[in-house]
Structures are given as C-alpha cells and as structure tokens.
Amino acid sequence: MEEPNWLAERFEAHRARLRAVALRMLGSTAEAEDAVQETWLRLSRVRPGEVENLAGWLTTVTARVCLDMLRARAARKENPLESVPASVLPDPGRGVDPEQEALTADAVGLALLVVLDRLTPAERIAFVLHDMFDVPFAEIAAIVGRTPVAAKKLASRARIRVRGGTADHADLIRRWELVEAFLAAIRDGDLRALLALLDPEVVRRADRWVITATEPAEIRGARTVAEGTLRYARTATRFGRLALIDGAPGLVVAPQNQLRIALTMRIENDRIVEIEVIGEPGRLAELAVSLPQHSSGGAAGEWEAAAGGEAGDERRERRRSGGDEQ
C-alpha cells in the first residue's frame, strides 16, 4: 500500500475524535472542520517515522490549531455560537470516553457553549482537553506554553467558571425557547400565541431609528404590544433571527447579513415583561451579538457584531489583569 493512502486511512480512524475535540473548543461545526483539515495538512507534511504516537500527535496539533483560532477570534471580538441541540449537556467535572464524545459531538449544549466562550483561550483549551478528554496536564502545558502547574490552574479556574455558569442552563434554554416561540408567533401572525407569551403589563420601548415620528417610543399592555409587533410580521419572516445579545436570548433583524435592529427581552416567570427595540447604530455597535451558525454553511450566520457587552468586558478585564497569562 502506498504511504499517502496508508496515512490517510490512519487519519480517518481518528477524524471523529479530532472533530469532537475541535467542536468542544470552538463551538462551531464549520470551524471544527477547518481545524481538523488543517491538522491533516500538517500531518501530510510530516516525514515517515517522525510521529511515534499518532493519536497524541493529532490531538496536540488539533488543540494548537484551535488555540490559534480562539486567539484570532478574541482579537476580532467575535463570539461564534453553534446552533445545536441542548438536550445533552456533559458533566463538566467528569472526564468522558473520547470515542463517546465523538458520538455526541453534535449535541453540545447551548448553555455550555455560552459559558465556554467567556473563558480565555488558554482556559478553554485546558478545560476541554483535561476535563472532557483526559489529556494529562504535562501535554496541555506544552500546547498552551505554560508549566504543568500553571496548566492545572487554568483548568481549575475554568472548571469553577463553567460549573457556576451552567448551573442555570435550564433557565437559559427555557428563555431561548420562549424567544423562539415569540418569533414563530410573529411570523405566523398568531395574536393568541403572542398574548400567551407576554406578561399582561409588558412594556415595549423603541428608539427613533426604529419607529416612525408618529409612533410612541413606549407602549404598554399585552394586547397593545402584540398588535404593534404583528405589524412587523413581514420583516420578521424575511430577516428575523434568533441571537444571543449580551449573553441573553433575543432577536435581530439582519437583511443581507447586516445588523439593523436588535430586540432584547426581559423574561420573568416564563413571560416576556419587557422588550427593547434598538436601531441606533452606536447602540448596536456596543452589543455583543452571537448568531447561531449552521453546519450547512451559507451566508447566514457568518457575521458577528461583538464590540462590547458583558462578555466583551470580561475578556478585556482578564487581558488587563493578565488572567490569560498565569
């Protein structure tokens, strides 16, 4: 058998596991596939006999590729969020079988991805490799450029943040479902469904970039808000998208993938109690918006507007304090 074919077969035997590693680190199917492909390209340039432990070598290279991608993402202030089922959420404090991880890679929980995005790149790499794939700290240290002790501290700090952040994942998912139902009701023109989602005393505020001069900036009451919202059913059908806005479920209007309007929502007791409609460009630029990315590709979901918000503030604060360099 020719060497290239033999090498390709051995790589394919590890592809699912490498994809699972990359998906946990990056939270994006498209980016995970890119990382795995880059790993294959690097392997194809290695001379025969240079790699003794192929599985370990592949994991290390994939992790380094992902680390570079995460650092580049942070520099661009992007927050990709994969649109995947949230029904399977791994226990972040327990290592799992890498092969089983490969089988469940597409079931990464939405809430876990949100929390992972708040970690520094080095924290994320250390946590994913150790807690999810049982990679020793000595190997992780070489990947992130730290000592084994420092790598252990990175994973420990990440573990605390993840456990605290995913404790309320059920509430996050429920709020996401409510916003999804809100968008569906608008698209269907279903007044009754909208009324069921809105608190009787709901208030909707909108800036002057969104409403006409004759419309009030603030309206109150479920029926008034619902009827006013249904006037935009056509726009919602064509351009409305679910999104995370400053870490909370919301809606955006993005014709030709350009952010034009953002709807933030406050939810209490499974009812929407407040809606803010933002269209002013300066305010939009301050939001951290993450759109679900679909594995099928295409233009939708390829843009990100993340120039501020809580997640951005946390990252900037950690860079100022040297939190990513410990």
Query: What integer pLDDT is reported at residue 4 of this predicted model?
Result: 61
Task: Please answer whether residues 241 and 305 qualify as being in contact, where contact means their C-beta atoms are separated by less than 8 angstroms.
Answer: no
Buried b (16+ CB within 10 A) or exposed e, 214-251: eeeeebebbeebbebbbebbeebeebbbbbbbbbbbbb
Query: What integer pLDDT is reported at residue 113 of this predicted model?
Result: 67
At 166, list the tokens: 């995913």
Query: What integer pLDDT is reported at residue 273 of this predicted model?
Result: 96
Q: What is the DSSP string of 29-86?
A: HHHHHHHHHHHHHHHHTSPTTS-S-HHHHHHHHHHHHHHHHHHHHHHHT---EE----
Q: State the residue for tokens 């951005």.
A: 312
Residues of the chain whose pLDDT is less than 70? 1-4, 74-115, 163-170, 292-326
Burial class for 59, CB neighbours closer than 10 Å (0-12, 13-18, 19+): buried
Q: State the residue for tokens 């006037």.
A: 231
Which residues, in sequence order, are CB contacts of 87 under 8 Å at separation 6+?
Answer: 107, 109
| Strand segments (E) across the chain | 81-82, 198-206, 218-220, 240-245, 248-253, 261-268, 271-278, 288-290, 292-293, 305-306
Phi, psi of 97 (to 5 degrees): -65, 125
* pTM of model > 0.95: no
DSSP structure class, residue 106: G
Query: What integer pLDDT is reported at residue 78 of this predicted model?
Result: 58
Query: What integer pLDDT is reported at residue 1 of this predicted model?
Result: 38
> Cα–Cα distance between 184 and 141 in angstroms, integer?
47
CA-to-CA dists, residue 1 to 43, 150, 280, angstroms:
18, 44, 63
